[in-house]
Structure formats: structure tokens, C-alpha cells
Amino acid sequence: MNFNEHLLRIRKASHQTQQALADYLNISVQSVSKWEKGTASPSIEYLPQIARFFHCSVNAFFSEYELQLTEKFAAPLDDKYVLALYEEILHQQNVLKSNPEWPDTEFVDNAYPFESMFLPGLYEFLKTHTHVTARDLQENLFIGYGLAADIIYALVEMGIVDNKIGKEIVKEKIDLILPYVNENTKK
């Protein structure tokens, strides 16, 4: 299966229109149509955006495995799941911090190894409620706001968390770190 066939299959499975994808990418519907017909291919810079739009990895457009899109994956998480996810991440973060080997630094929230995030509870939550894999999350993770907010921020960027509560969590964490960042950039 070629890119164009994968794109068409994934778009139809997620009940999206060519127009919706074109609007999201800020391109013409004709461009999307040409991609699906195989007469043109998107610039490589569009691939992560296309994957984000469909809530899948870029690999889904090039590999032979069958992408299983379901209703729970086709829509962003609702507020109760975002809050539950945030609470689970905070719990996992506290578990990590209580470990005697955890770095004792002023910026402990930013000093975590990526692999440590995926303790069983968090990984199971992500697996149950989203299609996000550890690899997808790692590719979209911006480390800087603390473990919990970093994960929520990554999920917002991937379109999994697209609601008021998730965005408020991210904004709250960004607001906490901005004065520190601004102060240090003046030096």
C-alpha cells in the first residue's frame, strides 16, 4: 500500500473530509485530492501535521499494519479523562520522586528520564483511553514544565487533549515557568 492509499483509508476511517484536512494544513482541497490520487505527494514538513490531525503516527502512512481507528481514538479525550490522566501522572511523578535514586535538584520536575514516566499505571491509562504509544508521546514531548504538564502539553499538541481543562493545565504550568525563563533570558 502506498502513502496515497494509506491517507485515503485513514481519512475515511476517521470520518474526516478532504476539506477538514486542507483547512487544518492551510492548503487547498485540490492538494489533498492529488495526494489521495497519488498524482502528488505532500512535502515532508506536512507529515507530522497530517499524523497529528488523524491522531496517529507518521508510520501509519508508510507501513503495512492495519491501523485500528475506533470512536475513542477518533475524538479528543473528554474532561473527566484529562483530569484522571493528570492525576495519574502526578501520582506517578510522586512515586518517582520518592525513589531514593531520584535526583535531588532544585528542578527535579525537569530532570526525569523519559523511560521512568511509563510506570504500569500511566502506560495502562494511555493504552486504555488513547491510541498514543510511548514512542508517539516521546516524539511530541517538550520537556520543560514538569512531568505532568509535559505529557498533557504533548497530548494537546497531538490533538488527543483538545478541551478547556487540558489547556488550562498547560497554561497554568506555562505561567509558572515563564517568570523563571524570562528572568534567565535577561542575564
Q: What is the CATH number of the domain that holds 11?
A: 1.10.260.40
Work out how many domains the chain is built from and give that number: 2
| CA-closest candidate to residue 138, choices 121, 129, 120, 126 | 126
Nearest one of 178, 126, 184, 127 to 152, comparing CA atoms: 126
- Which residue in 105, 118, 178 sits closest to 147, CA to CA? 118
| 117 or 94, which is more confident | 94
In 3D space, the residue among 74, 70, 46 whose CA is nearest the CA of residue 58 turns out to be 46
136 and 65 within one domain: no
- Could you tell me if 182 and 96 lie in one domain? yes
Considering the domain architecture, whether residues 37 and 103 belong to the same structural domain is answered as no
For residues 137 and 53, state if they share a domain: no
pLDDT band, residue 45 (cuts 50/70/90): confident
pLDDT score recorded for residue 115: 38
Tell which of 23, 48, 73 closes a domain: 73
Question: Which residue segment(s) compose the domain that 57 sits in?
Answer: 3-73
The helix (run of H) or strand (run of E) holding residue 177 is helix 164-186
- Which helix (H) or strand (E) segment holds residue 59: the answer is none
Q: In the listed set 73, 102, 118, which residue is the last one of a domain according to the structure?
A: 73
- Give the span between the Cα atoms of 163 and 61, in whole angstroms: 27
For the whole model, what pTM was predicted? 0.38
| Confidence at residue 105, expressed as pLDDT on a 0 to 100 scale | 40
Q: Are residues 25 and 103 in the same domain?
A: no
Question: Residue 27 pLDDT > 90, yes or no?
Answer: yes
Domain endpoint, select from 73, 107, 124: 73
Q: What is the mean pLDDT of the chain?
A: 62
